[in-house]
């Protein structure tokens, strides 16, 4: 299995809605099951440009764009990342498609 990257937005709107705490909680849940970060690493991201549907979290290279994420959603997201659960559909599709496309282009490009 290839390693996944989870990005939690730390832009202004996402931070206002609690993305700092969300990042810490996500990190805690992932490290509890994957202490070496062999399967998943979590990182902060400056701003995805989908601020109106904060808090945004993306999964790469799976290209899953979660919006309006709350701490209560994290166990399900983690189950998709480390277990065999499907992506959490109800949290996807809220961001503008062109914004999502731009994010994947940026993440795809080597920098
Ligand atoms: S502040 Fe999170 S998408 Fe812009």
The count of domains in the chain is 1
Question: Which range marks the domain in which residue 81 is found?
Answer: 4-108
Distance CA 97, CA 52 (A): 14
**First vs last C-alpha separation in the chain:** 23
- Cα distances from 54 to residues 1, 41, 93, in angstroms, run 30, 21, 13
Q: What pLDDT does 28 receive?
A: 98
**What's the distance, CA 101 to chain centroid?**
15
Give pLDDT tens digits along the chain (111 positions): 579 999 999 999 999 999 999 999 999 999 999 999 999 999 999 999 999 999 999 999 999 999 999 999 999 999 999 999 999 999 999 999 999 999 999 999 976
In the prediction, which pLDDT does 1 show? 58
For residue 47, what are its two tokens?
């701003």
Dihedral, 107, 76, 32, 82 alpha carbons, nearest 10: -60
Cα 51 to ligand 1 centroid, rounded to whole Å: 4
- Ligand 1 pocket: which of 7, 8, 11, 20 to mutate (most atoms within 8 A of CB): 11
């Amino acid at each position: 299995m290839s390693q996944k990257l989870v990005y939690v937005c730390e832009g202004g709107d996402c931070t206002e809605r609690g993305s700092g705490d969300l990042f810490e909680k996500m990190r805690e849940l992932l490290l509890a099951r994957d202490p070496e970060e062999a399967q998943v690493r979590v990182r902060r991201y400056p701003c995805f440009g989908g601020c109106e549907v904060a808090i945004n979290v993306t999964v790469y290279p799976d290209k899953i764009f979660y919006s309006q994420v709350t701490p209560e959603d994290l166990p399900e997201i983690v189950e998709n990342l480390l277990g065999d659960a499907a992506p959490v559909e109800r949290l996807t599709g809220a961001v503008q498609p062109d914004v999502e496309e731009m994010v994947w282009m940026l993440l795809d490009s080597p920098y």
